[in-house]
Structure 1
């Protein structure tokens, strides 16, 4: 009689565990949360014209335009992602022998717009702006940045 109770008890446990592991069909409704406000970032990049590696004035100007635009994008990436700073100091006899400091920026900037691009003396300046409303819309269009609104099990 004890064996039958044990068998019945184990059967009930296995039945319950099997019921817990059943896969249900479900329908998930997604909702995309929208931030309340969007910041607008501004960046300025500059590059010298006469120091560009070309003998033609027009080509030097075009190279400075591109260099100033890249400098402005680097400044935007720094504002969005920050800078990684690596430092190293070596000492000998309690005196500093060598100090090194390296900075790097890594990131993707999408949706930035050129506000102005103009020469100032012997340098070229480019101004960029990055509206995070545009970044948000690009993100929503390209990914599934969503949260669960409702789940229905069948």
Structure 2
């Protein structure tokens, strides 16, 4: 009797696990309610650029200030990784190190201004997240369920 009951219970569980749940899911993409705009400024010295001609120093400083501005944007978007260590020997602080790094990809930023200011070169960037969202939508289609129809 127990064997028959066990077999019937096993068959019922097996068949219920194989039930087909037919449905059609319709998806809808939702945009955020608001998009922030981030700004970043990068600086680079003109005098210390490793070039002999002034025009080359200006071009190198322009590029360096742009990279510095992009780094600042990446710090705002992704945060900054801080690693620190201290070495104490005989109750005296012998060595202390702090390293900072940032990693990420910035898409959609635009240069607002790029200009010399005294002995520095300055680049101002802007990152409009509505532009970032549009770029993201072209590559990845995040979705929410709009409607489910069961058959």
Q: Distance in 2 between matches of 1:81 and 1:12?
A: 54
- TM-score for the superposition, normalised by structure 2: 0.90
Does residue 49 (structure 1) correspond to residue 46 (structure 2)? The answer is: yes
Q: Distance in 2 between matches of 1:86 and 1:68?
A: 25
Match of 1:152, SS? strand
Does residue 95 (structure 1) correspond to residue 92 (structure 2)? The answer is: yes
Does residue 71 (structure 1) correspond to residue 90 (structure 2)? The answer is: no
Does residue 113 (structure 1) correspond to residue 137 (structure 2)? The answer is: no
**How do 1:1-154 and structure 2 match up within 5 A?**
2=1, 6-7=3-4, 10-154=7-151
- TM-score for the superposition, normalised by structure 1: 0.88
1:79 CA displacement = 0.6
Is the 1:28–1:149 Cα contact (8 Å) retained in structure 2? yes
Moved more, 12-21 or 28-37: 12-21
CA RMSD of aligned residues (A): 1.8
Provide structure 2 residue ranges, at least 5 long, that are not aligned to the other structure: none
Q: Deviations over 1:22-56 (max 9, x none)?
A: 44443221122221111111100011112111112
Match of 2:31, SS? coil
Moved more, 23-32 or 50-59: 23-32
Q: Distance in 1 between matches of 2:48 and 2:107?
A: 30
